[in-house]
Every structure is written in structure tokens, then in C-alpha cells.
Structure 1
């Protein structure tokens, strides 16, 4: 049970108290690749890669290394993978996807990988929109934890990428200023947190996001 709680922590399932959710305890550096369909006018999939911090990675190693050889074999990594996959399912795998301000539903990933590289846990998965997602208007992509327990960060703008973006589209990485966001939304954030201290979708307004803007399609 202890190992389940530890790996679920970054899925915001284990610690639901206000004090635990108030600031990040787990950190990861991320990469997001937006894959376009062959025609270049719609989104085919999102490819995610999260590299977790040394402390959390070490904790996972200790908890899942059942044979005590100080490494994770294929069976132990499969246990990590399965636990994370199940834990994050209720949180849409921390994905933020909107089209012209409306949430876009995403399918569960068909494949979900967990590996250890240089003593760091890496999670990789790919998701697809449930319905066709055209490059029309403004589309935003990001990653966020609604409980603030996990900080998944894109340290460089090029870690949010889209290959072969049509020439009539533009891309930019938006990094909201937390102090400004809090000042502008203090009452709303307070009300949302008090109604559900375990997590609220209001936290998505803090998320770094890749914003694509394209001409409207019919």
C-alpha cells in the first residue's frame, strides 16, 4: 500500500489535504510533441515525455525494487508503469487541451512506458483526440496537476514542439505569471479551493502551454 501511495502522489490521489496540495512535492522536466495528420491540417496525437527529479526517482526505485538489487528489472518497471497508468487515468493524464477555449476530450493512451535512465524515472505515452481536432482558430496544449502536488515543467520553449506547422499558422509558448494570475483571480481561486481542496481545474490557468493559431476552417 505504501508503494501505491508514493507513485500515486504525483497523480494527486494520495494526499488530499490542503497543506499537501498547496505546493509541489514532485518535479519533472517535460517534453510535448504535437503530431499532425498527414494533411497537416489537424492534430493526430500528442507525445509526452516526463523525466522525474532525483528524489522522487530514488523513492520509486526503493519502493518497487522487490529483489533488492538496486535497479528495476522489466517486471518491476511494469509494476511502476501499470500503477502510474491507472493512477493518472482519472486526471486525463495531466493534459490540458483546448480548442477556441473549449476543452478537447482525449483518448486514453494505447501504450504507456516507464524506464529508468541515469537513475531518473521517465514516463512516456501518446494520446489522440477522441474527435477530429482541426487546426482552426486557437488551440492550446499543456500539462498541469490540478492539486499542485506535481510540477511538470517545460524548461525551454522548444520542449513544446510541433513539426511541419503550416505556414499560415503561428506558434508561441505561453508562460503565465503566477503572481499576476493570483492577483487577477484571487476570489475565484479561493472559492474553488475551499469547495474542493483536493484539486480544481482552476489550476490550469497556471499551466505553461503551447498555443497554435491558424485560420478558421469550415
Structure 2
């Protein structure tokens, strides 16, 4: 099942009572933790950990407990992890990595994801995957990692604890997190009027949803 179709049915189940806010953008909520893997002063990979909201997790995991033991194992969840991670490229992995101030080339900074799996934390599904970095991003000029959905179909938010960290980074490399300020009531109301079966949003709203990016700034002195 393509990634977009994995999300879309979950957003349409309001008639079944699972999603009380399914008629408003956003439809799925994801808490993000990102790890920037370094080799010297070069970013080599991004390790993502995405925790989905409880209602979506319950919907997406229906029927996956094949041995009926009440526990969703990594093996039982692996087919779901695979089909979704393999389809993330259509959405640019909801991630962008670039040098601050550099022109947008339109090219992805990432290769194909690997080391992916789903786990369960309480009542929530957690998707783990690694994005290899194929672009040469100059960390001396400050690199930026954005995580967001410009259509705001999915609301990505950095986790309260450990939203981002560096792995194998030299002492002269430092990261800081910037969270979006949120939407004003008028824009939120316009987004709420977009039906669940419409992923795209009007272009005049895109300037506001793009500003909802969760950002990690990395610089090596």
C-alpha cells in the first residue's frame, strides 16, 4: 500500500469514530526525534525516530498481530515498515537538508533509506529509519535539517525530550533546535475546512505551512 494510502484511510475513519478531527488538516500527528550522524565535520546520515499518535497507531496496526499473543513484534510490523519507508521518497522523506542561504537546487540530499523498522511504545507506533546523506553540505556555513509536511496533512513536531542530537560529532560542531511558532487562528480555520480526501492545499496557505518546519541548525567552528 503506498505511503499516501496508508495515511489517507486513517484520516477518513471519522465515520467509525476513530478520528474525531478527521475532517480537518492535519490528520496525523508525529513526534520527531532526529540524530545527525557525523564523520568528522561531514553529515553522513540522519537517523529518524517518528512516534505516531495513538488513534492512528491503533488504526494502522489492526490485524497485524498474526499469532494473537497481544504483542506486535518487530517481525509482524516489518512489512508495514517496509512499504511505508520505501514510499517516502514521493514526499522527500518529509525531510530537507541544505546549507543555510544556499539556492534551492530541487535535488534531494538523501539516498534510499535503510535500517528501518517499527516498534511499539505504549499505544503508539514508532517508525525508525536511516537516511544516508548524499549531498555535500558545508557545516562551516551552517547546515539546516527541516522536518515537516508542506501540505500539513501530517503535523510533525519535535519531541519534548531529545528532539535532536549529534552522533560522532567533533567537539567543535554544535546543533540547536528551532521549533515552529504555530499557526494563527485564521489560517488554522482555513486548513480545518479542507476535507480529508484532499491532500493538496491552496498555494496561498503554503507559505504558512512551510513555516511549520521543525529545524535543526548545525555548525562546525
TM-score by length of 2: 0.70
Please list every run of 5 or more consecutive structure 1 residues that lacks an aligned counterpart in the other structure: 13-18, 184-191
Q: Which residue of 2 aligns with 1:186?
A: none
Describe the superposition over 1:156-210 as per-residue Cα deviations: whole angstroms up to 9, x where unpaired. Answer: 3732112465455543211232347x99xxxxxxxx943599xx69733211211
Describe the superposition over 1:22-73 as per-residue Cα deviations: whole angstroms up to 9, x where unpaired. Answer: 6222112221011110xx2111111100111211111112154466654435
RMSD: 3.6
Cα displacement (A) at 1:96: 2.1
Q: Which residue of 2 aligns with 1:138?
A: 142
Structure 1 position 97 matched with structure 2 position 103: no
Q: Distance in 1 between matches of 2:131 and 2:85?
A: 12
Q: CA contact under 8 A between 1:160 and 1:210: conserved in structure 2?
A: yes
Q: Distance in 2 between matches of 1:141 and 1:10?
A: 29
Q: Which residue of 2 aligns with 1:194?
A: 202
Q: How does 1:39-58 map to 2 (within 5 A)?
A: 40-58=40-58
Q: Distance in 2 between matches of 1:24 and 1:164?
A: 35
Counting helix residues as a fraction of each chain, which structure ranks higher? 1
Q: Distance in 1 between matches of 2:160 and 2:177?
A: 9
Q: Which residue of 2 aligns with 1:15?
A: none
Cα gap change, 1:10/1:84 in structure 2, threshold over 3 Å: closer, same or farther? farther
TM-score by length of 1: 0.71
Q: Which residue of 1 aligns with 2:209?
A: 203
Q: Distance in 1 between matches of 2:74 and 2:176?
A: 39
Q: How does 1:33-44 map to 2 (within 5 A)?
A: 33-37=35-39, 40-44=40-44
Q: Distance in 1 between matches of 2:182 and 2:175?
A: 22
Q: CA contact under 8 A between 2:10 and 2:59: conserved in structure 1?
A: no
Cα gap change, 1:101/1:203 in structure 2, threshold over 3 Å: closer, same or farther? farther
- Partner SS, residue 33 of structure 1: strand
Q: CA contact under 8 A between 2:10 and 2:56: conserved in structure 1?
A: no
Q: Distance in 2 between matches of 1:155 and 1:93?
A: 18
Q: Which residue of 2 aligns with 1:189?
A: none
Describe the superposition over 1:63-85 as per-residue Cα deviations: whole angstroms up to 9, x where unpaired. Answer: 54466654435553122112211
- Partner SS, residue 97 of structure 2: strand
Q: Distance in 2 between matches of 1:28 and 1:193?
A: 19
How many pairs are equivalent?
A: 195
Describe the superposition over 1:110-129 as per-residue Cα deviations: whole angstroms up to 9, x where unpaired. Answer: 22111223232110011121
Q: Which residue of 2 aligns with 1:172?
A: 176
